[in-house]
A and B are shown apart, each in its own frame.
Chain A
Protein backbone atom coordinates (compact mmCIF):
# COMPACT_ATOMS: atom_id res chain seq x y z
CA UNK A 1 0.00 0.00 0.00
CA UNK A 2 1.15 3.54 0.60
CA UNK A 3 3.47 4.68 3.34
CA UNK A 4 3.33 2.67 6.56
CA UNK A 5 1.23 4.11 9.36
CA UNK A 6 4.29 4.30 11.58
CA UNK A 7 7.70 4.85 10.05
CA UNK A 8 10.89 4.92 12.11
CA UNK A 9 14.18 5.48 10.31
CA UNK A 10 17.59 5.58 11.93
CA UNK A 11 16.21 6.73 15.27
CA UNK A 12 18.82 7.68 17.84
CA UNK A 13 18.38 8.95 21.36
CA UNK A 14 21.02 9.24 24.06
CA UNK A 15 20.79 10.16 27.70
CA UNK A 16 24.14 11.61 28.62
CA UNK A 17 26.68 9.22 27.20
CA UNK A 18 24.38 6.23 27.12
CA UNK A 19 22.74 5.55 23.79
CA UNK A 20 19.28 4.29 24.72
CA UNK A 21 18.23 3.94 21.10
CA UNK A 22 21.04 3.49 18.63
CA UNK A 23 19.81 3.55 15.06
CA UNK A 24 16.43 1.82 15.12
CA UNK A 25 14.38 1.50 11.92
CA UNK A 26 11.07 -0.23 11.29
CA UNK A 27 7.71 0.38 9.70
CA UNK A 28 4.22 -0.61 10.77
CA UNK A 29 1.70 -1.14 7.95
CA UNK A 30 -1.72 0.38 8.50
CA UNK A 31 -4.11 -1.95 10.27
CA UNK A 32 -1.51 -4.33 11.63
CA UNK A 33 -0.17 -5.12 15.07
CA UNK A 34 3.56 -4.66 15.54
CA UNK A 35 5.30 -6.05 18.58
CA UNK A 36 8.41 -4.33 19.87
CA UNK A 37 10.04 -7.11 21.80
CA UNK A 38 13.01 -6.83 24.07
CA UNK A 39 14.28 -7.14 27.61
CA UNK A 40 14.14 -4.40 30.21
CA UNK A 41 16.40 -1.52 29.24
CA UNK A 42 16.49 -2.49 25.56
CA UNK A 43 15.21 0.94 24.54
CA UNK A 44 11.58 0.03 23.84
CA UNK A 45 10.10 2.78 25.96
CA UNK A 46 12.49 5.37 24.54
CA UNK A 47 11.30 4.46 21.04
CA UNK A 48 7.71 4.86 22.24
CA UNK A 49 8.53 8.19 23.88
CA UNK A 50 10.02 9.54 20.66
CA UNK A 51 7.09 8.24 18.67
CA UNK A 52 4.51 9.85 20.95
CA UNK A 53 6.32 13.23 20.98
CA UNK A 54 7.34 12.90 24.63
CA UNK A 55 11.02 12.98 23.68
CA UNK A 56 12.78 14.64 20.79
CA UNK A 57 14.93 12.27 18.74
CA UNK A 58 18.65 13.10 18.54
CA UNK A 59 18.73 11.82 14.98
CA UNK A 60 16.58 9.95 12.52
CA UNK A 61 13.08 10.39 11.20
CA UNK A 62 9.86 9.27 12.85
CA UNK A 63 6.44 9.75 11.33
CA UNK A 64 3.02 8.64 12.51
CA UNK A 65 -0.05 8.73 10.25
CA UNK A 66 1.94 10.88 7.87
CA UNK A 67 2.94 13.45 10.50
CA UNK A 68 6.57 14.01 11.35
CA UNK A 69 7.13 13.97 15.11
CA UNK A 70 9.44 16.95 14.97
CA UNK A 71 7.77 19.09 12.32
CA UNK A 72 4.19 18.37 13.28
CA UNK A 73 3.98 16.94 16.80
CA UNK A 74 0.42 18.23 17.21
CA UNK A 75 -0.64 16.15 14.19
CA UNK A 76 0.98 13.08 15.75
CA UNK A 77 -0.75 13.67 19.08
CA UNK A 78 -4.09 13.99 17.30
CA UNK A 79 -3.52 10.62 15.62
CA UNK A 80 -2.43 8.44 18.53
CA UNK A 81 -3.74 6.98 21.71
CA UNK A 82 -1.15 5.96 24.27
CA UNK A 83 -1.34 3.76 27.30
CA UNK A 84 1.85 3.60 29.26
CA UNK A 85 3.49 1.11 31.54
CA UNK A 86 1.42 2.26 34.46
CA UNK A 87 -2.29 2.73 34.74
CA UNK A 88 -2.33 6.51 34.41
CA UNK A 89 -5.71 7.09 35.96
CA UNK A 90 -6.63 8.94 39.12
CA UNK A 91 -7.15 6.78 42.18
CA UNK A 92 -9.40 9.25 43.93
CA UNK A 93 -11.77 9.67 41.01
CA UNK A 94 -14.28 7.09 39.85
CA UNK A 95 -13.74 5.17 36.65
CA UNK A 96 -16.38 7.25 34.94
CA UNK A 97 -14.94 10.55 36.18
CA UNK A 98 -11.57 9.55 34.77
CA UNK A 99 -13.01 8.78 31.37
CA UNK A 100 -15.12 11.92 31.23
CA UNK A 101 -12.10 14.06 32.14
CA UNK A 102 -10.03 12.64 29.28
CA UNK A 103 -12.92 12.94 26.87
CA UNK A 104 -13.49 16.56 27.77
CA UNK A 105 -9.78 17.34 27.50
CA UNK A 106 -10.16 16.05 23.94
CA UNK A 107 -12.89 18.63 23.34
CA UNK A 108 -15.89 16.36 23.78
CA UNK A 109 -18.97 17.92 25.32
CA UNK A 110 -19.85 16.81 28.82
CA UNK A 111 -22.75 14.84 27.46
CA UNK A 112 -20.88 13.16 24.63
CA UNK A 113 -18.07 12.26 27.04
CA UNK A 114 -20.59 10.77 29.45
CA UNK A 115 -22.18 8.65 26.75
CA UNK A 116 -18.86 7.46 25.42
CA UNK A 117 -17.73 6.63 28.97
CA UNK A 118 -20.83 4.49 29.53
CA UNK A 119 -20.20 2.68 26.26
CA UNK A 120 -16.53 1.98 27.04
CA UNK A 121 -17.18 0.97 30.65
CA UNK A 122 -19.63 -1.65 29.36
CA UNK A 123 -17.24 -2.82 26.67
CA UNK A 124 -14.37 -3.20 29.13
CA UNK A 125 -16.43 -5.07 31.67
CA UNK A 126 -16.40 -2.14 34.08
CA UNK A 127 -20.05 -1.12 33.90
CA UNK A 128 -20.79 -2.12 37.48
CA UNK A 129 -17.69 -0.52 38.94
CA UNK A 130 -17.79 2.63 36.83
CA UNK A 131 -19.04 4.76 39.69
CA UNK A 132 -16.66 3.36 42.27
CA UNK A 133 -13.33 4.98 43.12
CA UNK A 134 -10.44 3.62 41.10
CA UNK A 135 -8.56 2.91 44.34
CA UNK A 136 -10.95 -0.02 44.82
CA UNK A 137 -10.09 -1.46 41.39
CA UNK A 138 -7.88 -4.49 40.86
CA UNK A 139 -4.75 -4.16 38.73
CA UNK A 140 -6.49 -5.67 35.73
CA UNK A 141 -9.46 -3.33 36.06
CA UNK A 142 -7.14 -0.32 36.23
CA UNK A 143 -5.38 -1.36 33.07
CA UNK A 144 -8.67 -1.81 31.29
CA UNK A 145 -9.79 1.62 32.46
CA UNK A 146 -6.46 3.04 31.32
CA UNK A 147 -6.99 1.58 27.87
CA UNK A 148 -10.58 2.84 27.82
CA UNK A 149 -9.30 6.32 28.65
CA UNK A 150 -6.97 6.14 25.66
CA UNK A 151 -9.88 5.14 23.44
CA UNK A 152 -12.32 7.90 24.42
CA UNK A 153 -11.74 9.41 20.98
CA UNK A 154 -10.93 6.66 18.44
CA UNK A 155 -7.53 7.21 16.85
CA UNK A 156 -5.97 5.41 13.90
CA UNK A 157 -2.90 4.47 15.94
CA UNK A 158 -2.82 2.84 19.35
CA UNK A 159 0.46 2.64 21.24
CA UNK A 160 0.62 0.19 24.15
CA UNK A 161 3.71 0.25 26.33
CA UNK A 162 3.88 -3.10 28.12
CA UNK A 163 0.11 -3.37 28.43
CA UNK A 164 0.06 -6.58 30.43
CA UNK A 165 3.14 -6.32 32.64
CA UNK A 166 2.17 -7.45 36.09
CA UNK A 167 -1.30 -8.69 35.14
CA UNK A 168 -2.74 -12.05 36.07
CA UNK A 169 -3.41 -14.47 33.19
CA UNK A 170 -7.12 -13.72 33.02
CA UNK A 171 -6.63 -9.97 32.77
CA UNK A 172 -3.88 -10.55 30.24
CA UNK A 173 -6.21 -12.53 28.03
CA UNK A 174 -8.86 -9.84 28.36
CA UNK A 175 -6.30 -7.27 27.17
CA UNK A 176 -5.32 -9.47 24.25
CA UNK A 177 -8.95 -9.83 23.23
CA UNK A 178 -9.36 -6.05 23.16
CA UNK A 179 -6.21 -5.58 21.09
CA UNK A 180 -7.49 -8.13 18.57
CA UNK A 181 -10.86 -6.38 18.39
CA UNK A 182 -9.19 -3.03 17.79
CA UNK A 183 -7.06 -4.53 15.08
CA UNK A 184 -10.06 -5.98 13.29
CA UNK A 185 -11.68 -2.55 13.49
CA UNK A 186 -8.72 -1.21 11.52
CA UNK A 187 -6.57 0.29 14.26
CA UNK A 188 -2.82 0.15 13.79
CA UNK A 189 -1.28 -1.09 17.02
CA UNK A 190 2.29 -0.81 18.24
CA UNK A 191 2.90 -2.66 21.47
CA UNK A 192 6.02 -3.23 23.48
CA UNK A 193 6.44 -6.34 25.52
CA UNK A 194 9.00 -8.47 27.23
CA UNK A 195 6.68 -11.44 26.98
CA UNK A 196 7.47 -13.64 24.02
CA UNK A 197 4.11 -15.27 24.15
CA UNK A 198 2.37 -11.92 23.93
CA UNK A 199 4.21 -10.86 20.80
CA UNK A 200 3.73 -14.32 19.33
CA UNK A 201 -0.01 -14.32 19.91
CA UNK A 202 -0.87 -10.74 19.03
CA UNK A 203 1.59 -9.38 16.55
CA UNK A 204 1.60 -9.60 12.78
CA UNK A 205 5.19 -8.47 12.83
CA UNK A 206 7.86 -8.38 15.49
CA UNK A 207 10.86 -6.11 15.92
CA UNK A 208 13.33 -7.53 18.40
CA UNK A 209 15.45 -4.90 20.12
CA UNK A 210 18.36 -5.32 22.47
CA UNK A 211 20.66 -2.60 23.77
CA UNK A 212 19.13 0.07 21.59
CA UNK A 213 19.50 -1.83 18.33
CA UNK A 214 17.18 -3.91 16.20
CA UNK A 215 18.54 -7.43 16.15
CA UNK A 216 15.78 -9.05 14.12
CA UNK A 217 12.53 -8.30 12.33
CA UNK A 218 9.93 -10.58 10.84
CA UNK A 219 6.71 -12.39 11.49
CA UNK A 220 6.57 -14.57 14.58
CA UNK A 221 6.84 -17.59 12.27
CA UNK A 222 9.91 -16.22 10.50
CA UNK A 223 11.65 -15.46 13.76
CA UNK A 224 10.93 -18.89 15.09
CA UNK A 225 12.12 -20.30 11.78
CA UNK A 226 15.50 -18.67 12.26
CA UNK A 227 16.20 -21.02 15.10
CA UNK A 228 15.96 -23.92 12.73
CA UNK A 229 13.91 -27.07 12.74
CA UNK A 230 11.46 -28.43 15.24
CA UNK A 231 12.51 -30.59 18.12
CA UNK A 232 11.00 -33.26 20.31
CA UNK A 233 10.69 -32.33 23.92
CA UNK A 234 10.50 -34.98 26.62
CA UNK A 235 9.14 -33.58 29.83
CA UNK A 236 10.03 -35.45 33.01
CA UNK A 237 9.64 -33.62 36.29
CA UNK A 238 11.29 -36.26 38.45
CA UNK A 239 15.01 -35.64 38.41
CA UNK A 240 16.13 -39.24 38.74
CA UNK A 241 13.81 -40.46 36.04
CA UNK A 242 15.07 -37.65 33.83
CA UNK A 243 18.64 -38.72 34.32
CA UNK A 244 17.72 -42.30 33.44
CA UNK A 245 15.94 -41.08 30.31
CA UNK A 246 18.93 -38.96 29.35
CA UNK A 247 21.17 -42.03 29.43
CA UNK A 248 18.74 -43.98 27.25
CA UNK A 249 18.30 -41.20 24.73
CA UNK A 250 22.00 -40.23 24.56
CA UNK A 251 22.65 -43.80 23.46
CA UNK A 252 20.61 -43.18 20.31
CA UNK A 253 20.96 -39.36 19.74
CA UNK A 254 24.36 -38.12 20.93
CA UNK A 255 23.31 -34.45 20.61
CA UNK A 256 20.32 -34.38 22.96
CA UNK A 257 20.34 -31.52 25.41
CA UNK A 258 18.89 -31.23 28.84
CA UNK A 259 16.59 -28.30 29.46
CA UNK A 260 14.67 -27.08 32.44
CA UNK A 261 12.82 -30.20 33.55
CA UNK A 262 12.95 -31.59 30.06
CA UNK A 263 15.14 -33.22 27.44
CA UNK A 264 15.28 -31.86 23.93
CA UNK A 265 15.88 -34.23 21.03
CA UNK A 266 16.69 -32.67 17.63
CA UNK A 267 14.40 -33.67 14.79
CA UNK A 268 10.79 -32.81 15.40
CA UNK A 269 9.01 -35.45 13.36
CA UNK A 270 6.56 -38.20 14.19
CA UNK A 271 9.05 -41.01 13.66
CA UNK A 272 11.52 -39.57 16.16
CA UNK A 273 8.69 -39.03 18.60
CA UNK A 274 7.53 -42.63 18.24
CA UNK A 275 11.06 -43.94 18.71
CA UNK A 276 11.58 -41.86 21.84
CA UNK A 277 8.40 -43.21 23.35
CA UNK A 278 9.31 -46.79 22.41
CA UNK A 279 12.83 -46.59 23.84
CA UNK A 280 11.74 -44.97 27.07
CA UNK A 281 8.90 -47.45 27.51
CA UNK A 282 11.26 -50.37 26.95
CA UNK A 283 13.66 -48.92 29.53
CA UNK A 284 10.78 -48.46 31.97
CA UNK A 285 11.20 -44.70 32.32
CA UNK A 286 7.99 -42.78 33.01
CA UNK A 287 7.51 -39.47 31.21
CA UNK A 288 5.17 -36.60 31.97
CA UNK A 289 4.84 -35.49 28.37
CA UNK A 290 6.49 -36.04 25.03
CA UNK A 291 5.73 -33.56 22.28
CA UNK A 292 6.96 -32.05 19.05
CA UNK A 293 7.81 -28.44 19.69
CA UNK A 294 8.37 -25.70 17.20
CA UNK A 295 11.08 -23.40 18.50
CA UNK A 296 9.60 -20.74 20.78
CA UNK A 297 10.44 -17.06 20.51
CA UNK A 298 12.47 -17.61 23.63
CA UNK A 299 14.66 -19.99 21.62
CA UNK A 300 14.68 -17.49 18.78
CA UNK A 301 15.91 -14.73 21.02
CA UNK A 302 18.58 -16.98 22.40
CA UNK A 303 19.68 -17.89 18.91
CA UNK A 304 19.68 -14.26 17.76
CA UNK A 305 21.65 -12.80 20.61
CA UNK A 306 23.70 -15.78 21.57
CA UNK A 307 23.18 -14.97 25.21
CA UNK A 308 20.54 -15.17 27.90
CA UNK A 309 16.96 -14.73 26.96
CA UNK A 310 14.59 -11.91 27.70
CA UNK A 311 15.17 -11.42 31.37
CA UNK A 312 12.30 -12.16 33.74
CA UNK A 313 12.65 -15.85 33.25
CA UNK A 314 11.44 -16.59 36.70
CA UNK A 315 7.85 -15.49 37.00
CA UNK A 316 7.11 -14.73 33.39
CA UNK A 317 4.16 -16.61 31.99
CA UNK A 318 5.75 -16.32 28.58
CA UNK A 319 8.81 -18.24 29.59
CA UNK A 320 6.93 -20.97 31.37
CA UNK A 321 4.21 -21.24 28.75
CA UNK A 322 6.77 -21.25 25.98
CA UNK A 323 8.29 -24.32 27.52
CA UNK A 324 5.52 -26.26 29.08
CA UNK A 325 2.67 -25.51 26.74
CA UNK A 326 4.59 -26.01 23.55
CA UNK A 327 2.69 -28.97 22.29
CA UNK A 328 2.66 -30.41 18.81
CA UNK A 329 0.05 -28.02 17.58
CA UNK A 330 2.19 -24.94 17.29
Chain B
Protein backbone atom coordinates (compact mmCIF):
# COMPACT_ATOMS: atom_id res chain seq x y z
CA UNK B 1 0.00 0.00 0.00
CA UNK B 2 1.62 3.23 -1.17
CA UNK B 3 0.95 6.86 -0.28
CA UNK B 4 -0.80 7.71 -3.57
CA UNK B 5 -3.46 5.08 -2.91
CA UNK B 6 -4.72 6.80 0.22
CA UNK B 7 -3.61 10.46 0.05
CA UNK B 8 -5.93 13.44 -0.51
CA UNK B 9 -5.37 14.92 -3.96
CA UNK B 10 -5.29 18.67 -4.67
CA UNK B 11 -4.81 19.79 -1.05
CA UNK B 12 -6.05 23.23 -0.02
CA UNK B 13 -3.05 25.56 0.13
CA UNK B 14 -2.36 29.13 1.23
CA UNK B 15 0.27 31.68 0.21
CA UNK B 16 2.66 33.21 2.80
CA UNK B 17 0.88 36.58 2.73
CA UNK B 18 -2.45 35.14 3.96
CA UNK B 19 -3.21 36.29 7.51
CA UNK B 20 -3.23 33.90 10.45
CA UNK B 21 -6.86 34.83 11.01
CA UNK B 22 -7.84 33.96 7.44
CA UNK B 23 -5.85 30.69 7.56
CA UNK B 24 -7.71 29.65 10.72
CA UNK B 25 -11.00 30.40 9.00
CA UNK B 26 -9.99 28.25 6.03
CA UNK B 27 -9.08 25.38 8.36
CA UNK B 28 -12.39 25.56 10.16
CA UNK B 29 -14.37 25.81 6.95
CA UNK B 30 -12.54 22.96 5.23
CA UNK B 31 -12.21 20.86 8.42
CA UNK B 32 -8.45 20.41 8.03
CA UNK B 33 -5.76 20.91 10.64
CA UNK B 34 -2.83 21.86 8.42
CA UNK B 35 -2.23 23.79 5.22
CA UNK B 36 0.76 23.54 2.88
CA UNK B 37 2.10 27.01 2.02
CA UNK B 38 3.02 27.66 -1.62
CA UNK B 39 4.50 30.73 -3.32
CA UNK B 40 2.99 32.45 -6.37
CA UNK B 41 4.63 29.84 -8.64
CA UNK B 42 3.04 26.98 -6.76
CA UNK B 43 6.33 25.97 -5.10
CA UNK B 44 6.06 24.51 -1.60
CA UNK B 45 7.67 26.92 0.87
CA UNK B 46 6.24 25.83 4.21
CA UNK B 47 3.43 24.25 6.18
CA UNK B 48 1.25 25.55 9.03
CA UNK B 49 -0.78 23.57 11.53
CA UNK B 50 -3.78 24.82 13.43
CA UNK B 51 -1.66 24.64 16.57
CA UNK B 52 1.04 26.88 15.04
CA UNK B 53 -1.68 29.43 14.34
CA UNK B 54 -3.34 29.16 17.75
CA UNK B 55 0.00 29.69 19.49
CA UNK B 56 0.92 32.57 17.18
CA UNK B 57 1.25 35.93 18.87
CA UNK B 58 3.06 39.20 18.18
CA UNK B 59 6.47 39.12 19.85
CA UNK B 60 5.95 41.94 22.39
CA UNK B 61 2.43 41.06 23.52
CA UNK B 62 2.91 41.92 27.20
CA UNK B 63 2.75 45.69 26.84
CA UNK B 64 -0.27 45.81 24.59
CA UNK B 65 -3.92 46.30 25.35
CA UNK B 66 -6.47 43.99 23.78
CA UNK B 67 -7.16 46.32 20.85
CA UNK B 68 -3.50 46.70 19.99
CA UNK B 69 -3.00 42.99 20.36
CA UNK B 70 -5.92 42.24 18.07
CA UNK B 71 -4.65 44.77 15.57
CA UNK B 72 -1.18 43.18 15.49
CA UNK B 73 -2.64 39.68 15.37
CA UNK B 74 -4.82 40.69 12.45
CA UNK B 75 -1.66 41.73 10.56
CA UNK B 76 0.30 38.57 11.36
CA UNK B 77 0.77 36.39 8.27
CA UNK B 78 1.22 32.69 7.67
CA UNK B 79 4.71 33.39 6.31
CA UNK B 80 5.78 34.56 9.80
CA UNK B 81 4.62 31.50 11.69
CA UNK B 82 4.91 28.62 9.20
CA UNK B 83 7.43 25.78 9.44
CA UNK B 84 9.92 26.25 6.60
CA UNK B 85 11.76 22.94 6.62
CA UNK B 86 8.93 20.76 5.43
CA UNK B 87 9.27 17.00 5.61
CA UNK B 88 7.67 15.49 2.50
CA UNK B 89 7.07 12.09 0.91
CA UNK B 90 6.46 10.97 -2.65
CA UNK B 91 3.47 9.13 -4.10
CA UNK B 92 5.47 5.92 -4.01
CA UNK B 93 6.48 6.03 -0.35
CA UNK B 94 5.04 2.97 1.47
CA UNK B 95 2.26 3.96 3.88
CA UNK B 96 4.02 2.44 6.88
CA UNK B 97 7.09 4.54 6.05
CA UNK B 98 4.91 7.67 5.97
CA UNK B 99 3.49 6.61 9.35
CA UNK B 100 6.99 6.12 10.75
CA UNK B 101 8.08 9.59 9.58
CA UNK B 102 5.01 11.14 11.26
CA UNK B 103 5.66 9.36 14.56
CA UNK B 104 9.41 9.97 14.62
CA UNK B 105 8.95 13.68 13.89
CA UNK B 106 5.74 14.12 15.90
CA UNK B 107 3.86 15.59 12.96
CA UNK B 108 0.34 14.88 11.82
CA UNK B 109 0.60 15.21 8.06
CA UNK B 110 3.03 15.14 5.15
CA UNK B 111 2.81 16.95 1.80
CA UNK B 112 3.19 14.53 -1.11
CA UNK B 113 5.54 15.69 -3.88
CA UNK B 114 6.11 14.66 -7.48
CA UNK B 115 9.47 16.33 -8.13
CA UNK B 116 8.87 19.99 -7.28
CA UNK B 117 5.14 19.73 -7.57
CA UNK B 118 2.76 19.37 -4.62
CA UNK B 119 0.31 16.62 -5.61
CA UNK B 120 -1.31 15.62 -2.33
CA UNK B 121 -1.24 15.39 1.42
CA UNK B 122 -1.27 12.31 3.63
CA UNK B 123 -2.35 12.68 7.25
CA UNK B 124 -2.71 10.71 10.48
CA UNK B 125 -6.40 10.42 9.69
CA UNK B 126 -5.69 8.68 6.37
CA UNK B 127 -3.33 6.22 8.06
CA UNK B 128 -5.94 5.63 10.71
CA UNK B 129 -8.50 4.57 8.15
CA UNK B 130 -5.97 2.14 6.69
CA UNK B 131 -5.49 0.62 10.13
CA UNK B 132 -9.27 0.08 10.37
CA UNK B 133 -9.14 -1.70 7.01
CA UNK B 134 -6.18 -3.80 8.06
CA UNK B 135 -7.96 -5.20 11.08
CA UNK B 136 -11.37 -5.34 9.43
CA UNK B 137 -12.78 -3.03 12.10
CA UNK B 138 -16.01 -2.51 10.18
CA UNK B 139 -16.57 -6.16 9.27
CA UNK B 140 -18.21 -8.98 11.23
CA UNK B 141 -16.79 -12.38 12.02
CA UNK B 142 -14.93 -14.45 14.56
CA UNK B 143 -11.95 -12.53 15.92
CA UNK B 144 -9.11 -14.64 17.18
CA UNK B 145 -5.81 -13.63 18.77
CA UNK B 146 -3.13 -16.30 19.01
CA UNK B 147 0.45 -16.50 20.15
CA UNK B 148 2.52 -18.42 17.57
CA UNK B 149 6.17 -19.48 17.41
CA UNK B 150 8.41 -17.20 15.32
CA UNK B 151 9.35 -19.67 12.61
CA UNK B 152 8.92 -20.21 8.91
CA UNK B 153 5.69 -21.63 7.58
CA UNK B 154 3.57 -20.94 10.66
CA UNK B 155 1.28 -18.51 8.88
CA UNK B 156 1.01 -20.94 5.97
CA UNK B 157 -0.17 -23.76 8.23
CA UNK B 158 -2.66 -21.54 10.10
CA UNK B 159 -4.17 -20.01 6.98
CA UNK B 160 -4.21 -23.51 5.42
CA UNK B 161 -6.22 -24.87 8.35
CA UNK B 162 -8.71 -22.00 8.13
CA UNK B 163 -9.13 -22.60 4.39
CA UNK B 164 -9.79 -26.33 5.01
CA UNK B 165 -12.54 -25.41 7.47
CA UNK B 166 -14.12 -23.27 4.75
CA UNK B 167 -13.38 -20.00 6.52
CA UNK B 168 -12.67 -16.74 4.70
CA UNK B 169 -9.97 -14.56 6.26
CA UNK B 170 -11.27 -10.96 6.39
CA UNK B 171 -8.29 -9.51 8.18
CA UNK B 172 -4.96 -10.69 9.48
CA UNK B 173 -2.42 -8.75 11.47
CA UNK B 174 0.93 -9.88 12.88
CA UNK B 175 2.31 -8.12 15.94
CA UNK B 176 5.38 -8.43 18.11
CA UNK B 177 4.99 -11.24 20.63
CA UNK B 178 5.94 -11.50 24.27
CA UNK B 179 9.58 -12.04 23.33
CA UNK B 180 11.53 -12.50 20.06
CA UNK B 181 10.74 -16.24 19.91
CA UNK B 182 7.04 -15.67 19.23
CA UNK B 183 4.50 -13.40 17.58
CA UNK B 184 0.92 -12.40 18.22
CA UNK B 185 -1.48 -12.81 15.31
CA UNK B 186 -4.99 -11.38 15.18
CA UNK B 187 -7.27 -12.89 12.54
CA UNK B 188 -10.86 -12.12 11.63
CA UNK B 189 -12.63 -14.98 9.87
CA UNK B 190 -16.11 -15.33 8.42
CA UNK B 191 -18.02 -18.49 7.50
CA UNK B 192 -16.71 -20.74 10.26
CA UNK B 193 -17.93 -21.65 13.73
CA UNK B 194 -15.99 -20.16 16.65
CA UNK B 195 -15.41 -23.42 18.57
CA UNK B 196 -14.50 -25.38 15.45
CA UNK B 197 -11.92 -22.75 14.58
CA UNK B 198 -10.31 -22.77 18.02
CA UNK B 199 -10.21 -26.58 18.17
CA UNK B 200 -8.61 -26.87 14.75
CA UNK B 201 -5.91 -24.30 15.49
CA UNK B 202 -5.09 -25.24 19.07
CA UNK B 203 -2.36 -27.74 18.14
CA UNK B 204 -0.52 -25.20 15.92
CA UNK B 205 -0.30 -22.32 18.35
CA UNK B 206 1.42 -21.69 21.66
CA UNK B 207 -1.73 -20.19 23.13
CA UNK B 208 -5.13 -18.89 22.10
CA UNK B 209 -5.07 -15.46 23.77
CA UNK B 210 -8.56 -14.24 22.95
CA UNK B 211 -11.55 -15.30 20.88
CA UNK B 212 -14.83 -13.46 20.34
CA UNK B 213 -17.58 -12.90 17.82
CA UNK B 214 -17.71 -9.31 16.62
Is A bound to B? no
Mark A residues whose CB is within 8 Å of B. none
